[in-house]
Amino acid sequence: MSLPRKLNDNKGMVTVLVPTADGYKRGCHAVELDITIEDARKGYHQGSCDYDISQLQKKDYIKQQLNPIPLDTLCSILDEYGCEYDDGDDKEEIEGIVLWLACADIID
């Protein structure tokens, strides 16, 4: 299977393309997230990223992408990555993990 591919547009945004059996689909597994490379670097780096992810979650363009995604979809993304989470975690916390994974996909 192929590795994720990234498409850059002229606004510095990156869309992660995830390989599937029948080609590529856009997004972080089940969703599409457009994130600037600069913000992806802020969200994925050596050391703790928790504070930086919480700050990225406050950005309007990121909130507008994450807020409409249903909780069960976010949880299925974490399941695909093999991430552990508690059923009691709130949506914002799970959004943060998905955002961190998307940043990692872009930077790596």
Q: What would the DSSP string read from start to end of 37-84?
A: HHHHHHHS-SS--HHHHHHHTTSHHHHHHHTTS-HHHHHHHHHHHT--
Close Cβ partners of 10 (under 8 Å, ≥ 6 residues apart): none
The SS3 call for residue 26 is strand
13-57 confidence digits (pLDDT tens): 555 554 455 554 445 555 778 888 899 999 999 999 999 999 999
57-105 confidence digits (pLDDT tens): 999 999 998 999 889 888 888 888 888 888 888 999 999 999 999 899 8
Query: Beta strand pairing status for 23-26 and 34-36?
Result: unpaired
Q: Are the C-beta atoms of 83 and 60 separated by less than 8 Å?
A: no
Parse the chain into domains and list their residue ranges.
5-107
Whole-prediction pTM value? Answer: 0.74
